[in-house]
Amino acid sequence: MKDYSQYFKGPNLQEAKKRSHQQVDHLDDVFEIPADMVNVGRGKKYYIHTYGCQANERDSETLAGILEMLGYDQSDDIKEADVILLNTCAIRENAEEKVFGKVGYVKNLKKNNPDLIFGLCGCMAQEEVVIQRILEKHPHIDLIFGTHNIHRLPQLLKEAMYSKEMVVEVWSKEGDVIENTPVTRANHHKAWVNIMYGCNKFCTYCIVPYTRGKERSRLMSDIVKEVEDLKEQGYQEITLLGQNVNSYGKDLDDQSSFALLLETVAKTGISRIRFTTSHPWDFSKDMIEVIAKYDNIMPAIHLPVQSGNSNVLKLMGRRYTREQYLDLFHTIKEIIPDCTITTDIIVGFPNETEEQFEDTLSLYRECEYDLAYTFIYSPREGTPAAKMKDNVPFEEKQQRLERLNEIVREKALKQNQRFYNQVVDVLVDGVSKKDENMLTGYTAHQKLINFKGRKEDIGQIVKVKVTEAKTWALKGEQIV
């Protein structure tokens, strides 16, 4: 078997921390298509399956843009594709198992179509254990590339077409910020806009700082130009993306900060601005004030707390205490009174006691979040938490999750009820998948709403009267 070790260095805390001192360049001429790859995809189709977070969804739009530049057409049917890419997520074990399920399925497709090119990319590709498992058990994969190698897809695809061996290119040292890759956006009225890549927080349970590398901010001028172009193309909403947007600009030499970026983006006049995710640790008062000041910055903040107990937070490496989090939470609610706040919570962190878990419940009752994404802790190889001995049985963790989710449901309903009988602004996404007589969209406060309305307004912001508040969604009627 070919020796792949020269291409690959898996997640390693020491290495990852070292990387933080290396310089990052902002480049706009790195992406290129080899002459013999132009039109290689003409008459052929591609299929991309995206797992994980918005960062991956945005990356898939770049992959789609590149493949379309090569002449491929997008297909919704995996069975008719000539190129299949799985853009994977490594955040929890169950995310990875889903991907391996799909890998097995594609094996059968390859039997019918030997020319099919099957690639795996995204965060799992950055993990040494995953590469080893693939080399041993899934030799039908033709191509593996990491999160820093996306712009190299034309070259990698070419290699995969002509090579009999599996092509693997995963850089552990993160790349520079590359600005000239193409994009085919999945949505025509809402767009993702990357503002930074990577993460330097190193929460002890989390794989992201290894799979995505260190924090690298895009230049403010590039971001603002992208937003202006989107506005000109008729986009109504943009979401600024980063694993921790508050850190935006800290790695740049100029005065850029997230507060300044938000304000500058708000001044472009695009209708709706959202951002995700904010780490509670460096959420500045300036940021809260900018959000409050501009009507086109939506009053909805995702503020992951992870745990309501200060000792657990310390072990998680979150850099704030329960009290500091609550202070920030209440300051936000004071300055932006009707702001929607959502969160992420992990239950069953190693050795979490019943009392510590109850602190999470009591914090949840105090904050009365609009919504929460709740998870059972999943050990990720190479992270510090994975080395901790754990005395909490899995069944106990499952019960904790269920107890927490009960409160999540109760508060979600309560928070949706505050909009009952109100008239709200809704960006219309399309026809509801469940009922073709209903439209669906999101309010400014990021509430999902299904409503009777005019199909010709899809992609527009319209007024809707809320007629019913349910746990996971509102119902309403458009006012025309």
Which residues are at the interface with ligand SAH (CB under 6 A)?
91-92, 205-206, 208, 243-244, 277, 279, 304, 306, 344, 346, 375, 377-378, 380
Distances (CA, A) of 319 to 22, 78, 296, 357, 419: 24, 44, 31, 19, 35
The one of ligand SAH, ligand F3S, ligand SF4, none whose footprint includes residue 175, by CB under 5 to 8 A per kind, is: none
In this complex, which beta carbon is closest to ligand SF4, that of residue 374 or of residue 443?
A: 374
The one of ligand SF4, ligand SAH, ligand F3S, none whose footprint includes residue 90, by CB under 5 to 8 A per kind, is: ligand F3S
> How many CA within 13 A on the CB side of residue 73?
7
Q: How far is the CB of 384 from ligand SF4 (least distance, A)?
A: 11
Single-letter residue type at 145: F
| Binding of residue 206 to ligand SF4 (CB under 6 A) | yes
Residue 469: phi and psi, rounded to 5, are -115, 120
The one of ligand SAH, ligand F3S, ligand SF4, none whose footprint includes residue 211, by CB under 5 to 8 A per kind, is: ligand F3S
Q: Which 3 state secondary structure label does DSSP give 276? A: strand
| Binding of residue 243 to ligand SF4 (CB under 6 A) | yes
The one of ligand SF4, ligand SAH, ligand F3S, none whose footprint includes residue 209, by CB under 5 to 8 A per kind, is: ligand SF4
In the region spanning residues 262 to 291, those forming contacts with ligand SF4, defined by CB under 6 A, are 279
> Of the candidates 100, 171, 202, 294, which one interacts with ligand SF4 according to CB under 6 A?
202
Task: Tell me which DSSP letter residue 379 carries.
Answer: -
Residues 287/262, Cβ–Cβ less than 8 Å: yes
What is the rounded CA–CA span in Å between residue 301 and residue 304?
9
What is the rounded CA–CA span in Å between residue 254 and residue 261?
12
**Binding-site ranges for ligand F3S (CB under 6 A):** 52-53, 55-56, 89-91, 122-123, 207-208, 211-212
Single-letter residue type at 39: N
Q: How far is the CB of 390 from ligand SAH (least distance, A)?
A: 12
What is the rounded CA–CA span in Å between residue 25 and residue 178?
8
Q: How far is the CB of 45 from ligand F3S (least distance, A)?
A: 24
In this complex, which beta carbon is closest to ligand F3S, that of residue 189 or of residue 279?
A: 279
In this complex, which beta carbon is closest to ligand F3S, that of residue 207 or of residue 259?
A: 207
Residues 89/120, Cβ–Cβ less than 8 Å: no
The DSSP line for 134-171 is HHHH-TT--EEE-TT-GGGHHHHHHHHHH-SSPEEE--
The one of ligand SF4, ligand F3S, ligand SAH, none whose footprint includes residue 428, by CB under 5 to 8 A per kind, is: none
- CB count within 10 Å of CB 151 equals 20
Residues 30/148, Cβ–Cβ less than 8 Å: no
> Of the candidates 203, 300, 328, 339, which one interacts with ligand SF4 according to CB under 6 A?
203
Q: How far is the CB of 469 from ligand SF4 (least distance, A)?
A: 31
Single-letter residue type at 372: A
Q: How far is the CB of 243 from ligand F3S (least distance, A)?
A: 7
Burial class (CB in 10 A: 0-12, 13-18, 19+), 9: middle
In this complex, which beta carbon is closest to ligand SAH, that of residue 149 or of residue 383?
A: 383
Q: Summarize as ranges the residues that interact with ligand SF4 (CB under 6 A).
A: 199, 201-203, 206, 208-209, 243-244, 279
